[in-house]
């Protein structure tokens, strides 16, 4: 289907009021799409026959343009094939690169899973050690409390025994002191009785007018009473 408008500027009209196409290039790199557009321009801008749908086309110019397109088609096809090949190579390289990325990602994912497994195992081991340490601490605490309670009870018992022993020793000391005091007092009592007897005898001897009977009676009646050797207990 022929184009009704050109993408580039319209050519100047000829003597019949029609625009003539630009001459086809003959050298340099050929753009097949541009040459096909030029061929279309030759047809569109050729003079029309009035009152008909016919167009007067320059046969030489048309054939020259067709030859130009025909000659350059193989190179254009070759370029297209090269572009397709390069595209396939690029796609292949991209696919290989994608495969490498996928493989690297899978390997990294496996490493991450291994690391997560190691971390999880470490967490479980840490939890086990923490639980074991907690149990050991509780056991040590209970054992320490039991030892403290035993030590407290033993200390209390020893203090009670020491108090009872001290009380017994105090009682023994008190009893010994009482006995010693009683013995001293008894000895003093005997000495005093002996002294009183001596004093009484001396007084009797100082009485010259006294009769013998009186002396005997006085000696018998004035003799001091025997010493009391009974032990007095001072215990409370």
- Model pLDDT for residues 164-183, shown as the tens digit of each residue: 888 888 888 888 888 888 89
Task: For residue 8, give the 3-state DSSP assignment.
Answer: coil
For 108, the enclosing helix (H) or strand (E) is: helix 59-205
Q: How far apart are CA 42 and CA 167, in angstroms?
A: 146
C-alpha distance from residue 6 to each of 2, 10, 21, 83 (Å): 10, 7, 11, 28
- 77-108 confidence digits (pLDDT tens): 777 777 888 888 898 888 888 889 998 998 88
Task: For residue 48, give the 3-state DSSP assignment.
Answer: strand
* Confidence (pLDDT) at 209: 57
Give the distance from CA 182 to its chain's centroid.
83
* Confidence (pLDDT) at 24: 44
Q: 186-195, 198-207, 213-222: which has the minimum mean pLDDT? A: 213-222
* Confidence (pLDDT) at 7: 40
Q: How far apart are CA 114 and CA 108, in angstroms?
A: 10
Task: For residue 18, give the 3-state DSSP assignment.
Answer: coil
- 114-146 confidence digits (pLDDT tens): 888 888 888 888 998 988 998 999 999 888 988
- 195-208 confidence digits (pLDDT tens): 999 998 888 888 76
- 220-235 confidence digits (pLDDT tens): 444 455 544 444 444 4
Checking 34-37 for CB contacts under 8 A at 24+ apart, the result is 35/65, 35/68, 35/69, 35/72, 36/69, 37/3, 37/6, 37/7
Q: Could you tell me the pLDDT band of residue 12, with boundaries at 50, 70 and 90? A: very low
The overall average pLDDT reported for the chain is: 76
This model's pTM is above 0.85: no
């Amino acid at each position: 289907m022929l184009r009704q408008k050109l993408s580039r500027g319209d050519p100047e009209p000829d003597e019949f009021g029609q625009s003539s196409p630009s001459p086809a290039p003959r050298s340099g790199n050929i753009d097949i799409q541009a040459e096909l557009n030029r061929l279309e321009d030759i047809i569109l801008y050729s003079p029309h026959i009035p009152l008909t749908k016919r167009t007067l086309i320059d046969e030489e110019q048309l054939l020259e343009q067709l030859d130009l397109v025909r000659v350059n088609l193989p190179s254009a096809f070759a370029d297209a094939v090269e572009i397709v090949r390069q595209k396939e190579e690029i796609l292949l390289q991209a696919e290989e690169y994608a495969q490498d990325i996928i493989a690297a990602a899978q390997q990294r994912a496996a490493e991450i899973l291994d690391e997560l497994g190691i971390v999880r195992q470490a967490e479980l081991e840490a939890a086990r050690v923490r639980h074991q340490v907690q149990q050991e601490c509780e056991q040590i605490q209970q054992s320490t409390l039991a030892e403290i309670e035993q030590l407290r009870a033993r200390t209390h018992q020893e203090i009670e025994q020491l108090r009872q022993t001290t009380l017994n020793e105090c009682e023994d000391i008190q009893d010994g002191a009482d006995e010693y005091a009683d013995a001293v007092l008894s000895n003093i009592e005997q000495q005093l009785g002996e002294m009183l007897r001596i004093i009484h005898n001396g007084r009797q001897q100082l009485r010259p007018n006294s009769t013998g009977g009186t002396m005997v009676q006085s000696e018998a009646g004035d003799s001091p009473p025997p010493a009391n050797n009974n032990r007095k207990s001072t215990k409370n």
